[in-house]
Amino acid sequence: MPHINLLPWRDQQRAQRSREFQLMLAFTVIGTAAAVYFGQMYMQGLIDHQGRRNDLISKEIVELDKKIEEIRGLQETKRLLLARMQVIEQLQQQRTEVVHVFDEVVSTLPEGVYLTSLKQEGGSLTIAGVAQSNARVSTYMKQLDASPWLADAQLLVIETKADKGGRFSQFSLRVKQMRSEEKGSPS
């Protein structure tokens, strides 16, 4: 029987498989390296993109902080203007009160009482004058208390003096000035 040697063919086939394996291994290594490289490039691109977005957001935050400071400044200006407006409104409301107070001081003045000085200190008036008698001072105080613009008349000093014209009473009293909001504005 003839003897056929298949070893070279098997060696060739084995060598062929070995080359194919090495080629496949090389393609796999190259493919894996390429996949890793492109994956890393893709991830780096995403990181760079997110970094740009973060920078943009940081710039926007800085601009918004500036705008917030402007708004706070405007709010402070608004608050100051409102406070000034309230002061002006109060002064406008109180402008007529002085006229009413002077009118009340004069209209409540009984016969025989003469005023020598009138001084305003805050919400009260200090009135000094001369009267023919103590009873006239008392009448004046009652009329001041009945006034819608004046209240709480308090006698500070009363002295009876005499001169060649007769006896007279020198007095000083304090009366509280009522605001239109306190008693209601008389029309």
- Express each pLDDT in 145-167 by its tens digit: 888 888 888 888 888 888 777 78
Strand order in the sheet with 124-131: 113-121, 124-131, 166-177, 150-163
Residue 137 is inside which H or E element, if any?
A: helix 134-146
Per the structure block, which two tokens stand in for 187?
């029309």
Q: Give me the CATH code for the 88-180 domain, please.
A: 3.30.1360.100
Torsion angle defined by CA atoms of residues 114, 116, 122 and 124, in that order, rounded to the nearest 10 degrees: -30
**What is residue 49's predicted lDDT score, i.e. its pLDDT?**
96
Mean pLDDT for 24-47 is 96
| Calpha distance 64→58 (Å, rounded) | 10
**What is residue 84's predicted lDDT score, i.e. its pLDDT?**
95
Highest mean pLDDT among 54-58, 117-121, 132-136: 54-58
pLDDT tens column, 106-130: 888 888 899 999 888 878 889 999 9
